[in-house]
Amino acid sequence: MPIEDFITWIYCWVDDTLPRIIGNNPLRKRGFLPALCDAEMITMEIVGEFLSRDADKHIWSYFSMHWKHLFPAIGSYSQFAKQAMNLWAIKQKLLDTMTQKSQQDKLHIVDGFPISVSHFKRARGCKRFKGDANYGYCASKDETYFGFKGHIIVNYDGVLSGLVITPANTSERESLCVNLPMSNYDLR
């Protein structure tokens, strides 16, 4: 699929989904409306992230240089960054909508990663996260650490289905029980 068709498809999906998420609640109660509509802004961020442009500055410069004819009201970077920041809750709801559709898939991939909060030698005296953090073992790094474990859950299509942070001694199976409805899954 050509990139212009991809941008158009994402814009149409966002533009159709936004009214269902927002409902009758206005996003802005006062002030001027931005020149760039919210669907265009979210489209640029989704496409930019898909193209591995992680920072707002990189997304803005890419669309300013290459796709100004599709987004003529793109404006300055400061306006772009403010609008992108103010739409964080709407973007989270869009992600939840995508995730709910992907929850129907029966195949998910889970991977854990360590989140160390203290050096191992100083862990006994560490008062940060007391009662929440615990000792765990990371096989890929071949080390014991004190902290938490992050669990990323991805469906078959590569869409992020969830992120769970647990104490370091929690298994990946237990983290699935926190995030996914387990009535459809066999965890043997």
User: pLDDT tens-digit profile of 83-112?
Assistant: 888 888 888 888 777 766 655 666 677 788
Instruction: Name 156's bridge partners.
Output: none
Q: Identify the pLDDT of residue 184.
A: 40
Same domain, 97 and 115: no
Same domain, 93 and 27: yes
Q: Identify the pLDDT of residue 111.
A: 80
Same domain, 74 and 137: no
Alpha carbon distance 188, 52 (integer Å) = 36
Alpha carbon distance 56, 81 (integer Å) = 6
Q: Identify the pLDDT of residue 108.
A: 72
Same domain, 81 and 110: no
114 CB-side CA count, 13 A: 20
Q: Identify the pLDDT of residue 101.
A: 60
Of residues 39, 41, 31, the one with CA closest to residue 80: 41
pLDDT greater at residue 20 or residue 24:
20
Q: What is the DSSP letter of 34?
A: P
Same domain, 175 and 88: no
Same domain, 9 and 96: yes
Given phi > 0 = left and psi -120 to 50 = alpha, else beta, which region is 66? alpha
Same domain, 89 and 8: yes
Boundary residue ending a domain (101, 123, 151): 101
Same domain, 97 and 19: yes
State the amino acid at position 38 in one-letter form.
D
Boundary residue ending a domain (101, 132, 152): 101
Same domain, 155 and 111: yes
Asked whether the predicted pLDDT for residue 185 surpasses 50, the reply is no
CB count in 10 Å sphere of residue 41? 23
Q: Identify the pLDDT of residue 187.
A: 38
**155 near 136, Cβ under 8 Å?**
no
Asked whether the predicted pLDDT for residue 127 surpasses 60, the reply is yes
Same domain, 83 and 112: no
Boundary residue ending a domain (56, 82, 101): 101
Q: Identify the pLDDT of residue 95.
A: 76
Q: What is the DSSP letter of 131?
A: T
pLDDT greater at residue 176 or residue 76:
76
Alpha carbon distance 153, 88 (integer Å) = 21
Same domain, 88 and 20: yes
**146 near 157, Cβ under 8 Å?**
no
Q: Is 19 helix (H, G, I), strand (E, B) or coil?
A: helix
The per-residue DSSP string of 91-115 comes to: HHHHHHHHHHHHTT-S-EEEEEEEE
Asked whether the predicted pLDDT for residue 181 surpasses 50, the reply is no
Of residues 121, 120, 122, 125, the one with CA closest to residue 168: 120
Q: Identify the pLDDT of residue 176.
A: 66
pLDDT greater at residue 128 or residue 46:
46
Asked whether the predicted pLDDT for residue 186 surpasses 60, the reply is no
The pLDDT > 70 percentage for the chain reads 86
What domain count does the chain have?
2
Alpha carbon distance 108, 161 (integer Å) = 8
Domain of residue 174 covers 104-184
pLDDT band for 177, please (50, 70, 90 cuts): low
Same domain, 92 and 108: no
Lowest-pLDDT range, 49-53, 147-151, 184-188? 184-188
Lowest-pLDDT range, 45-59, 80-94, 135-149, 168-182? 168-182
